[in-house]
Amino acid sequence: MLPVTLASLRKLQNEGTPITMMTAYDYPTALLTHSSGIDMTLVGDSLSQVALGHYNTNQITLNEMIHHCKAVARGAKTPFIVSDMPFGSFEASVQQGVESAVRLVKEGYVDGVKIEGGKEIIPLVKRLTEIGIPVMPHLGLQPQRATSLSGYMVQARSSAGAKELYETAMALQQAGAFALLLEAIPHKVASYITKQLDVLTIGIGAGPGTSGQVLVASDVLGVFPTEEEAAAAAEAAAEHGQGQQPLQGVKVAKFVRRFGNVGSESRRAVREYIDAVRSGGFPEIGKETYMMGKEEWEEFERSTGKKE
């Protein structure tokens, strides 16, 4: 397969073929996006939580993002790779934003950057476009601003809010954005904006009317147990007198659909491994061990003066 480019993404958009995008945070998840034929790979700052265990996305640093981008670039050979610009890497000035974006491209080997913000990032979007760095502004729900938004709330539900979002989207297109990410907004608003724009839109919690969709890899795969699954597992363990550690469930957003349950299978495999070790069933002599010639073994025993 040939690498995905801006031209091939535009071709998909013009043909009406929905574009696929998924996050990747390391070499294994990057290989997954590559081998599965994903169009775009997002090195999202959500890795702050799902890969590094931080409380929110704002805790990850630019250096950490670059570190993960490098790993993703080694595995995602065909998808178009976009990296989030983390909180604190672009807000101070256009110059700071340019320097951070250049580092992500030059050191992290990504194809473009995603920036959360509204009209205030227009100068940065314009400047990055001028120097040849593709930019995807992130509108609607912006996790980096969750505190100021009073939490992870659906945006643009009012007429005034929808109009402001539309005007911002048009202005960012004019500034040179190659795409927009629309998160947690009414599907009619997302469809309307998509139809009015020339550039492509990627939705997450924005309905099917966008040019494409993005989801977090751990959500698609079902890596973490939901709150309901964690409670059920704890109840089942108590009933059977099992002493396993309680699971910490995660709250799943309305727009998330899990297409697998890797987490459950992984936990089953680890528990089976523990049982096999403790019962003496693993490793199995002969099948899972290495042998030594009889003469060499006898010579070894003689050299030590002891027998088994």
pLDDT at 128 over 60: yes
pLDDT at 245 over 70: no
Give 40-94 pLDDT, tens digit per residue. 999 999 999 999 999 899 999 999 999 999 999 999 999 999 999 999 999 999 9
Q: Is residue 274 part of a domain?
A: no
Taking residues 172-191, report their average pLDDT: 98
Task: Write out the residue range of the structural domain in which residue 202 sits.
Answer: 6-217
* Average model confidence (pLDDT) across the chain: 93
pLDDT at 250: 72
pLDDT at 239: 61
Taking residues 243-257, report their average pLDDT: 74
Taking residues 279-296, report their average pLDDT: 95
pLDDT band at 296 (very low <50, low <70, confident <90, very high): very high
pLDDT at 278: 95
Q: Is residue 232 part of a domain?
A: no
Collapsing DSSP states into helix, strand and coil, what is residue 245?
Answer: coil
Q: Is residue 203 part of a domain?
A: yes
Q: Tokens in use for 271?
A: 């528990």
Give 157-172 pLDDT, tens digit per residue. 999 999 999 999 999 9
pLDDT band at 244 (very low <50, low <70, confident <90, very high): low
Domain total of the chain: 1
Catalytic, 164? Answer no
Q: Tokens in use for 145?
A: 């601003």
Give 130-152 pLDDT, tens digit per residue. 999 999 999 999 989 876 666 77
Q: Is residue 49 part of a domain?
A: yes
CA–CA dist 128, 243 (Å, integer) = 55
Beta strands in 37-134 (DSSP E): 40-43, 80-84, 112-116
Q: Is residue 238 part of a domain?
A: no
Contact by Cβ (8 Å): 115, 125: yes
Q: Is residue 82 part of a domain?
A: yes
Q: Is residue 297 part of a domain?
A: no
Q: Tokens in use for 190?
A: 């997302």
CA–CA dist 111, 79 (Å, integer) = 10
Contact by Cβ (8 Å): 53, 13: no
pLDDT at 204 over 90: yes
pLDDT at 231: 73
Bond from prior residue into 246 cis (ω within 30 degrees of 0): no
pLDDT at 92: 97
Give 6-51 pLDDT, tens digit per residue. 999 999 999 999 999 999 999 999 999 999 999 999 999 999 999 9
Q: Is residue 303 part of a domain?
A: no
Exactly one of 107, 130, 164, 183 is catalytic; name it: 183
Taking residues 257-283, report their average pLDDT: 94
pTM to 2 decimals? 0.90
- Strands 80-84 and 40-43, by their bridges, are parallel
Contact by Cβ (8 Å): 219, 204: no
pLDDT at 242 over 70: no
Give 94-126 pLDDT, tens digit per residue. 999 999 999 999 999 999 999 999 999 999 999
pLDDT at 192 over 90: yes
CA–CA dist 23, 85 (Å, integer) = 14
CATH number of the domain enclosing 25 = 3.20.20.60
